[in-house]
Each structure stands twice: as C-alpha cells, then as structure tokens.
C-alpha cells in the first residue's frame, strides 16, 4: 500500500463511454471518497465481489461515497456496449460505470487485475487498494475511515452466481482454452484431474476454441463445488447444449444455466454455470456437447 500513499487518482478521461452517469471528471469527484472498481462481466472473481460493491454504494452514498465501476473487457465480445448494459441491468448496478474498451483507464491506474479496488480520499489521493476477492471487512472499514463514519458493517450474502466460493474444496484452477494461454489439454481417452480435451471439429484461436461442426464437445476433469465456462456464439440463433457429469445427467448437481437433465441454451455471450454440487464435493468429469456449430468457449473457472 505504501506505493499509493501520495499517488493522486488518475482521471477517467480515457473512458470510451459511460453507463448510469454523464462522464465524471475531477470537478465532479472533488470532495468525495471514490471507490474505483475494475471489472469485466465474465469474471467469476468479480461476480463474487459485486454484492459487496453494490451494498457499499447504497449504504454510503449519502455519506459522500462515489463508486465508479470501470469495465475493462477481457475478451473480444465484452467490448460490445449492449452486452455490458445487459449485465449492468441483470446485476442491478446503479452506480456510474466507465467503459474502458481501449484500456486507457486501466493503464492510467497501472492496473493488472480483475477485480481491482482503489480507495481514494476526498483530496484525490489513492490511500489503499485490493486485488481479487476477500478482505471485505477491512475494505469497508477503509471506506468508513475516509468518510469519517463509524457504524456496523453492512450484511451481505451473495446468491446464485454471486455466492462465495467453497474455497476449502476448490482443487481446480482457472483454465483458458485458446492457444495464447491454454494449458493441460490432452487426448480424449482418459483425463486426470484438471486436464481437458476436445472431441469433434474445432478451430483453436488465440483466445477461444470454436466449434466447426455440430456435435462437438469439451470434457474437463475437475474438483470443486461449482464449474463455470465462458461461452459465446457465432450464429444468429441460440445453440442448444447438453451437460453430463461422469457420463450421466447432472440431476441435483446442475448449475444455474443447466436443467437437471443437462440441457441448456447458449444465447448471450457470458459466464455459464454448468455445475453446482449441492452436498459433498467430489472429483468428476464434466462434458458439454453442442448440437450446432458456432459455439465459442473461452475459459473454465471454479468455485
């Protein structure tokens, strides 16, 4: 934190657009405590922090807190403003959001992470920062100290996709599928923990794999309560898919975007929750099969 002790907050002048607000400049922010939150809408780590950011924005707005979300896209389809607008609507985000499609705001903060929080005092000095999930109590106390208030912390419970990870049982890491960052891809015969494979006709691009013919599938051997996959599509129509767990229907272990029989639909480009184990977490093989060509898969994440 020492490196930020006297660093003045950079401006948001590099934003390519704004949601929920007119552009905010130094004059608009002067005298306010500012919490800058860097995010991208497919990031599960950001999604699990968002209930806290929303709660703080509401609880401390009248005390002088301004939360500014900075949406810096990770994947190509996340640059599209209507997609970001839809995620803002779904997440009930009512604070200002700066669109950072060119990474100018990201670079001005010398940021490298999603999510990232920067805590700025009323004089415009960055007093603290935090990268990733957790540290919620301390972060809220930082906000309170800068505002000059002291009261009970807000009560937050993430639900659905935003629920806190079952960290004690996560044994599988974030795994990218594109050639730029992909790793641990093997043949389809037998998977060991955290290995994955493709079946069918796929094109491997830098940031994603793209299905060329109907019926292709992706298999992953994982160990975690939740399994997610970032998906998009190149077709005009939604693409139906089917998820299996160890070759059977997922049943009670189906995720939010999958029915008990394993069926689901790839519509919007976003993070899809495929599996949420309700009881004891065990090692399983997840397979997702697509009934039509054009599916794009980017990264598995777990929780």
The DSSP output letter for 250 is -
Can the peptide bond before residue 115 be classed as cis, meaning omega within 30 degrees of 0?
yes
What is the structure's pLDDT at 43? Answer: 98
Task: Kindly give the pairing relationship between strand 239-245 and strand 202-204.
Answer: unpaired
Q: Are residues 73 and 216 in the same domain?
A: no
Does residue 2 carry a pLDDT above 50?
no
What integer is the mean pLDDT of 177-198? 94
Alpha-carbon gap, residue 12 to 24, rounded angstroms: 7
Q: Are residues 19 and 95 in the same domain?
A: yes
Q: Are residues 46 and 178 in the same domain?
A: no
Q: Are residues 124 and 172 in the same domain?
A: no
Does residue 5 carry a pLDDT above 60?
no
Q: How many domains does the chain divide into?
A: 2
What integer is the mean pLDDT of 167-174? 98
Q: Are residues 261 and 123 in the same domain?
A: no
Q: Are residues 178 and 145 in the same domain?
A: no
Q: Are residues 43 and 114 in the same domain?
A: yes
What is the structure's pLDDT at 188? Answer: 75
Q: Are residues 228 and 157 in the same domain?
A: no
What is the structure's pLDDT at 14? Answer: 97
What is the structure's pLDDT at 189? Answer: 78
Sorting pLDDT into bands at 50, 70 and 90, what band is 11?
A: very high
Q: Which domain does 268 fall in, by range? A: 167-302
pLDDT tens digits along 86-124: 999 999 999 999 999 999 999 999 999 999 999 999 999
- Percent of the chain past pLDDT 90, that is, above it, reads 96
pLDDT tens digits along 216-256: 999 999 999 999 999 999 999 999 999 999 999 999 999 99
Asked whether the whole model's pTM tops 0.85, one would answer yes
Does residue 190 carry a pLDDT above 90?
no
Which CATH number characterizes residue 124's domain? 3.40.30.10
Sorting pLDDT into bands at 50, 70 and 90, what band is 151?
A: very high
Does residue 4 carry a pLDDT above 60?
no
Q: Are residues 188 and 240 in the same domain?
A: yes
Domain boundary pick from 162, 178, 205: 162
Domain boundary pick from 139, 162, 185: 162
Q: State whether residue 222 is helix, strand or coil.
A: strand
Question: 11-23: string of b/e by CB count within 10 Å (b at 16+)?
Answer: bbebbeeebeeee
Q: Are residues 29 and 149 in the same domain?
A: yes
Sorting pLDDT into bands at 50, 70 and 90, what band is 155?
A: very high
Side-chain-side CA neighbours of 113 within 13 Å: the count stands at 13
What is the structure's pLDDT at 62? Answer: 98
What integer is the mean pLDDT of 34-53? 98
Q: Are residues 6 and 151 in the same domain?
A: yes
Question: Which conformational region is residue 27 in: left (phi greater than 0), alpha (psi within -120 to 50 degrees), or beta?
Answer: alpha
Q: What is the mean pLDDT of the chain?
A: 96
Domain boundary pick from 104, 127, 162: 162
What is the structure's pLDDT at 6? Answer: 57
Alpha-carbon gap, residue 302 to 274, rounded angstroms: 10
Sorting pLDDT into bands at 50, 70 and 90, what band is 1?
A: very low
- Percent of the chain past pLDDT 70, that is, above it, reads 98
């Amino acid at each position: 934190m020492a490196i930020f002790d006297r660093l003045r907050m950079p401006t948001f002048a590099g934003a390519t657009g704004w949601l929920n607000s007119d552009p905010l400049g130094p004059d608009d922010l002067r005298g306010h405590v500012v919490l800058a939150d860097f995010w991208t809408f497919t990031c599960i780590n950001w999604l699990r922090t968002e209930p806290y950011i929303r709660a703080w924005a509401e609880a401390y707005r009248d005390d002088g807190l301004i939360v500014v979300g900075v949406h810096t896209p990770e994947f190509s389809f996340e640059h599209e403003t209507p997609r970001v607008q839809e995620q803002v609507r779904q997440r009930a985000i009512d604070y200002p959001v700066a669109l950072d499609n060119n990474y100018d705001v990201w670079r001005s903060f010398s940021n490298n992470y999603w999510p990232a929080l920067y805590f700025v005092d009323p004089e415009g000095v960055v007093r603290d920062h935090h990268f990733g999930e957790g540290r919620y109590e301390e972060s809220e106390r930082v906000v309170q100290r800068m505002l000059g208030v002291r009261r009970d912390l807000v009560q937050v419970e993430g639900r659905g996709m935003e629920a806190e990870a079952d960290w004690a049982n996560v044994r599988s890491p974030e795994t990218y599928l594109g050639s730029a960052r992909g790793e641990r891809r093997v043949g389809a015969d037998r998977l060991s923990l955290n290995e994955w494979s493709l079946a069918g006709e796929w094109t491997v691009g830098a940031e994603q794999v793209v299905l060329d013919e109907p019926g292709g599938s992706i298999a992953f051997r994982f160990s975690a309560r939740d399994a997610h996959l970032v998906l998009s599509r190149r077709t005009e129509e939604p693409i139906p898919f089917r998820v299996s767990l160890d070759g059977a229907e997922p049943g009670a272990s189906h995720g939010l975007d999958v029915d008990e029989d394993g069926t689901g639909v790839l519509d919007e480009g976003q993070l899809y929750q495929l599996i949420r184990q309700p009881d004891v977490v065990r090692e399983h093989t997840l397979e997702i099969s697509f009934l039509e060509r054009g599916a794009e898969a980017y990264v598995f994440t777990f929780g």
